[in-house]
Amino acid sequence: MHRLATWQLFAVCVLVWGTTWYAITWQIADLAPEFGVALRFALAGAVILGVAAARGEPLRFGPRKQARFALQGAFMYGVSYVCVYHAEQHVVSGLVAVGYSASPLIVSLGARAAFGTPLSGRFLAGGVAGLLGVALIFGPEIAKAPAGAGTTLGALFTVAAVMLSAVGSLSASRNRHHGLPFWPALGYGMLWGALASALLALALGRPFALPVAAGWWLSLLYLSIAGSVMTFACYLTLQDRLGPGPAGTVGVMTPLLALVVSLGLEGYRPELVTLLGAALAVAGNVAMLRAAPPVKPAAAAAE
């Protein structure tokens, strides 16, 4: 990845992460979301641990450290993504992506409560603007008939995904504080998330039968390899070159691309207020990014 130009690294991150939301729609028709998430992160976690081994990083950890990985993974890569998959059964993928952009504010509020991390007024103002934008996006969709009930359910699943992912992010922050290496934590976290999703599927009595559709398998490979392994490698390289602030613009551009994909491939036709809401959500993210205190790239790598 170090051979790629900076603009190429940025393009890979935005193009891949911006299209993974649509790729999920190919996963939810042929298999229960819980099993789909389990297979996705089992594959991704195994590949990432292979990357860690190739880098010469340690892969043996005691029960206490594995418990930390499990807490991070169960929330960040397990139940939160199950909620994302369920949300996309009710609303277009681009709306879920923009709704998910509220994550930085929720994580920061959690860090303030759990660790005493300071927050500036400008950061909070940007976060509130982003939340208002998300509300403007989902409001008209919920009000539409006859799809209002389904859209409400999609919005609730999106909120649940954001909240559960925030717990995983706070756990990841604590793991970094304890000096746990990034790649092993990521790989083991994904495997624990896969296990949590599989156990949830069994507890709910979800049927399991491997799909035969080629599109399902191609989307699984895309989500697991391109959407997890390749993009994380590119993003970490980008952070090493630019720092977490400029690299964070990836998170601003990703939901915009996801919304464009929904316009082109899912037949989504938003109202004017929805577009205004998306613009406000992105502007709020930009404000939070500009107001966030500088962080060392190594510390921000596991976001």
Q: Buried (b) or exposed (e) across 139-170, using 16+ Cβ within 10 A?
A: eebbeeeeeeeebbbbbebbbbbbbbbbbbbb
Per-residue pLDDT of 140-176, as tens digits, reads 777 765 555 788 899 999 999 999 999 998 998 889 8
CB-based contact 18:218 (threshold 8 Å): no
CA–CA dist 193, 20 (Å, integer): 18
Band (pLDDT 50/70/90 cuts) for residue 191 is: very high
The confidence score (pLDDT) of residue 219 equals 97
pLDDT at 299: 34
CA distances from 300 to 169, 182, 200, 202, 303 (A): 11, 10, 30, 35, 6
In angstroms, rounded to a whole number, what is the distance separating the alpha carbons of residues 196 and 193?
5
Q: Which residue has the higher pLDDT, 290 or 30?
A: 30
Whole-model pTM: value is 0.89
Q: Among 22-31, 40-49, 142-151, where is mean pLDDT lowest?
A: 142-151
CA gyration radius for the chain?
18
Range in 16-25, 116-125, 145-154, 177-186 with the lowest mean pLDDT: 145-154
Residue labelled with tokens 């060392």: 296
The DSSP element (H or E) to which 239 belongs, if any, is: helix 231-242
Structure tokens at 68: 């930390």
pLDDT of residue 296: 44
For residue 244, the model assigns a pLDDT of 60
Burial class from Cβ neighbours inside 10 Å (0-12, 13-18, 19+) for residue 210 reads exposed
Using CA atoms, how far residue 69 sits from 23, 59, 156, 176, 223, in Å, is 27, 12, 27, 11, 21
pLDDT single digits (tens) 47-67: 999 999 999 999 999 999 999
Query: pLDDT, tens digit, for every residue of 222-239?
Result: 999 999 889 988 887 887
Taking the C-alpha atoms of residue 60 and residue 251, their distance in angstroms, rounded to an integer, is 32
What is the three-class DSSP state of 23? helix
